[in-house]
A and B are shown apart, each in its own frame.
Chain A
Amino acid sequence: MAEGPILSVRNLRTEFQVGRRSLRAVQDVSFELARGRMLGIVGESGCGKSVTAHSVMQLLPKAGRISGGSIHYVDGSGRERVLSAMERNGREIRSVRGREIAMIFQDPMSSLDPVYGIGHQIAENLLEHERLDRGEARARVVALLAELGIPIPEKRYDDYPHQFSGGMKQRAMIAMAMICNPRILIADEPTTALDVTIQAQILALMKQLQERHGTSVILITHNMGIVAETCDEVGVMYMGRIVELGSLEQIFNAPRHPYTAALLRSVPVLGLGGRKELESIRGTTPDASTVFEGCEFEPRCDRACPRCAKESAPERILDGSRRVRCWLYA
């Protein structure tokens, strides 16, 4: 099988119509997801990471639309399919969703329908995409629940969401996403709503599943620690753009973009000197509707030069493989 990327996003641009104005949530985003690898997309709230993920799945709300670029997915038989050209709620994209590309959402508490049992909802996804009878579907769901470490799965199958704890619900959500053995899993802040011990369990579980099933994963998060523990590659987003994209080692050991560097400096480290203050990035995130002539990070950047405010920085490839969007390297 060809070893090309399974998913490539090229110059993606997503806009939202807010009243009469259109607001650019994602600008010129490109990345590739390699087979069986885990790509982390980090950035602060509102930087466009979720919108990017939703664009891939064509799950944007009514006001949002992809206004440029393309999204290419290579399916199991090696055929390239252009996701961005598919009709929004058409049959074609629906056969991709859940079956080829699945998604895990941030809030497991409200992501399950309260009127149905857990097992029923997981089986519903399976029955939507595969020809099976209820008994076979049930057996598959029970097996997956067991694999995900849910005790007495054949009994928990009939339980309702309110009888599950938060961590258990997120396991059920993972089961729902993984039941059809998707080739890509997009996890949109899968652990944000969970407490720290459960976070670690869920991440370990996802990593384990990914390795066992050879799934390619896009992990969206604002937590640098999670990225460091799980991902192979990292893209850092700020104000709708990927400012730096490289391997885990490149990003964490030698960040090139001032924003990446500042983000890493603002992560608390165990053993930080008692009187030493944790660094923060000065200023606040600009409003999403602000239009910049130059670099979006310029007002907050310590290394900004006059040129940064006037012209948008070009993307440069450094160290052979990493991409940085900053005037320092242009």
Chain B
Amino acid sequence: MGKRTAVRSSLARRNLEKFLSNRLAILGLAAVLLLLFASLGAPLLTRYDPSFVDASARFLPPSAEHLLGTDNVGRDVWARILYGGRISIFVGLSGALGAALIGIILGCVSGYFGGRADAVILYFSEIFMAFPQMILILILVGFAGRGLSNLILIFSITGWTSAHRIVRSRILSLREEAFVECCRANGIGGLSIMFNHLLPNTLGPVIVHCTLSTAGYVLAESGLSFLGLGVPPSIPTWGNIINAAKSLLIIQNHPVLWIAPGMAISLFVLSINFFGDGLRDVFDPAQ
């Protein structure tokens, strides 16, 4: 019995071993998980409220009391980075998942049905791709206004094109496979073939793309928040923390206030990229 299980999972095991042998990817995964759990478990790691203003404790240097000191209105920077991570990672992840979801559904439709539906979807995706994504996001934020849900929605709407391309091209080649004809010969319907047979075969590269675009959206959120176009400043995010530290006085005299959140962003983006690259080596050895 034990031996048979070993044979059964041989492919999964080989993939796992391949991933585990990639040091950088493991390091990336560890760092991502560390940041994720640190921000989820923020109340355990700090006793400060990230939004609590204490005018008597402005610009305190790092100490045992305040690990990274306090900012211009006396908020604890360590607490803000921990709680800010929640929002930043949440926005990045939901933006990537939303974009992937739209891309997958449209990709299935245009890949499997082809014809006019494909032409229309492709046409729209080309319109979206004709503009740099950042410009498009800026315009839409201008229309919709700032806010957490708006930001996620905008990321999803502007970012679906690459997932759509990946899924569409995979399905275009998969639908000519013999097993699809075999399903049809067994009387299985189009929708069932599309979602039960074609889609699972495309998921590998989509998952890889999703992790990598999460990094992109964390960066985009920070950038937008820094410019004052992202999440409202009352909510702590990594971008908002830097935004609060952008006066010349602070940049010169209190470097911890911007270096610390900057480090958090860089660490997260870098490690999720390493992790995604490791995943790609496993899922998509051809690339």
B201-A158 in contact (CB<8A) = no
Residue-wise interface mask of B (171-212) relative to A, using a CB-CB cutoff of 8 A (1 in contact, 0 not): 000000111011111111110000011001100000000000
Whether, in the assembled complex, A96 has its beta carbon less than 8 Å from a beta carbon of chain B, the answer is: yes
Q: Which of B1-60 contact A (CB under 8 A)?
A: 4, 7-8, 10-11
Q: Which residue of B lies closest to A94 (CB)?
A: B187
Q: Which residue of B lies closest to A176 (CB)?
A: B186
Q: Which of A27-49 contact B (CB under 8 A)?
A: none
B187-A97 in contact (CB<8A) = yes
Cα–Cα distance between A94 and B183 once the two chains are bound (Å): 11
Report the minimum CB–CB distance from A78 to chain B (whole Å). 22
Given contacts A115-B201, A176-B182, contact A124 B188 (CB under 8 A): yes
Residues of A within 8 A of B182 (CB): 103, 105, 111-112, 173, 176
Cα–Cα distance between A95 and B188 once the two chains are bound (Å): 9
Report the minimum CB–CB distance from B195 to chain A (whole Å). 12
Residues of B within 8 A of A113 (CB): 179, 183, 197, 201
Report the minimum CB–CB distance from B15 to chain A (whole Å). 13
Residue-wise interface mask of A (128-152) relative to B, using a CB-CB cutoff of 8 A (1 in contact, 0 not): 1100000000000000000000000
Residues of B within 8 A of A116 (CB): 197, 200
Given contacts A110-B178, A155-B4, contact A97 B201 (CB under 8 A): no
Given contacts A105-B178, A113-B201, A115-B201, contact A98 B185 (CB under 8 A): yes
Cβ 8 A contact of B187, one of A106, A107, A129, A162: A129
A163-B184 in contact (CB<8A) = no
Chain A contributes a number of interface residues (CB within 8 A of B) equal to 34
Given contacts A112-B179, A113-B201, A114-B201, contact A96 B11 (CB under 8 A): no
Report the minimum CB–CB distance from A165 to chain B (whole Å). 13
Residues of A within 8 A of B190 (CB): 89
Report the minimum CB–CB distance from B216 to chain A (whole Å). 28
B187-A59 in contact (CB<8A) = no
Report the minimum CB–CB distance from B101 to chain A (whole Å). 19
Q: Which of B61-94 contact A (CB under 8 A)?
A: none
Residues of B within 8 A of A57 (CB): 185
Cα–Cα distance between A124 and B11 once the two chains are bound (Å): 23
Cβ 8 A contact of B188, one of A96, A102, A125: A125
Interface centre among B181, B185, B190 (most CB of A within 10 A): B185
Residues of A within 8 A of B179 (CB): 110-113
Whether, in the assembled complex, A99 has its beta carbon less than 8 Å from a beta carbon of chain B, the answer is: yes
Whether, in the assembled complex, A159 has its beta carbon less than 8 Å from a beta carbon of chain B, the answer is: yes
Whether, in the assembled complex, A252 has its beta carbon less than 8 Å from a beta carbon of chain B, the answer is: no
Q: Which of A162-184 contact B (CB under 8 A)?
A: 162-163, 173, 176-177
Q: Which residue of B lies closest to A91 (CB)?
A: B189
Cβ 8 A contact of B186, one of A110, A115, A128, A160: A128
Cα–Cα distance between A110 and B183 once the two chains are bound (Å): 12
Cα–Cα distance between A112 and B186 once the two chains are bound (Å): 12
Residues of B within 8 A of A155 (CB): 4
A115-B200 in contact (CB<8A) = yes
Report the minimum CB–CB distance from B193 to chain A (whole Å). 10
Report the minimum CB–CB distance from A16 to chain B (whole Å). 16
Cα–Cα distance between A124 and B189 once the two chains are bound (Å): 12
Q: Which of B84-111 contact A (CB under 8 A)?
A: none
Report the minimum CB–CB distance from B136 to chain A (whole Å). 35
Cα–Cα distance between A173 and B178 once the two chains are bound (Å): 12
Residues of A within 8 A of B186 (CB): 97-98, 102, 124-125, 128, 176-177
Residues of B within 8 A of A105 (CB): 178, 181-182, 185
B7-A99 in contact (CB<8A) = no
B7-A163 in contact (CB<8A) = yes
Cα–Cα distance between A323 and B196 once the two chains are bound (Å): 46
Residues of B within 8 A of A124 (CB): 186, 188, 196
Cα–Cα distance between A195 and B155 once the two chains are bound (Å): 54
Given contacts A110-B177, A110-B179, contact A59 B200 (CB under 8 A): no
Residue-wise interface mask of A (180-196) relative to B, using a CB-CB cutoff of 8 A (1 in contact, 0 not): 00000000000000000
Q: Which residue of B lies closest to A114 (CB)?
A: B201
Cα–Cα distance between A112 and B183 once the two chains are bound (Å): 9
B187-A96 in contact (CB<8A) = yes
Residues of B within 8 A of A163 (CB): 7-8, 10
Residues of B within 8 A of A95 (CB): 187
Q: Which residue of B lies closest to A129 (CB)?
A: B187
Cα–Cα distance between A99 and B187 once the two chains are bound (Å): 8
Residues of B within 8 A of A97 (CB): 184-187
Cα–Cα distance between A309 and B128 once the two chains are bound (Å): 61
Report the minimum CB–CB distance from B21 to chain A (whole Å). 22
B197-A98 in contact (CB<8A) = no
Cα–Cα distance between A102 and B181 once the two chains are bound (Å): 12
Report the minimum CB–CB distance from A277 to chain B (whole Å). 38
Residues of A within 8 A of B183 (CB): 113
Report the minimum CB–CB distance from B207 to chain A (whole Å). 13
Cα–Cα distance between A125 and B8 once the two chains are bound (Å): 23
Report the minimum CB–CB distance from B116 to chain A (whole Å). 13
Interchain Cβ contacts under 8 Å between A and B, 9 examples: A59-B181, A95-B187, A102-B185, A110-B177, A111-B182, A113-B201, A124-B186, A125-B188, A128-B188
Known interface pairs A94-B187, A98-B188, A173-B182; 9 further A-B residue pairs with C-beta atoms within 8 A, sorted by A's residue number: A89-B184, A98-B187, A102-B185, A103-B185, A106-B178, A110-B179, A113-B201, A128-B188, A155-B4
Closest 6 pairs (CB-CB, A-B): A98-B186, A97-B187, A98-B187, A103-B185, A110-B178, A94-B187
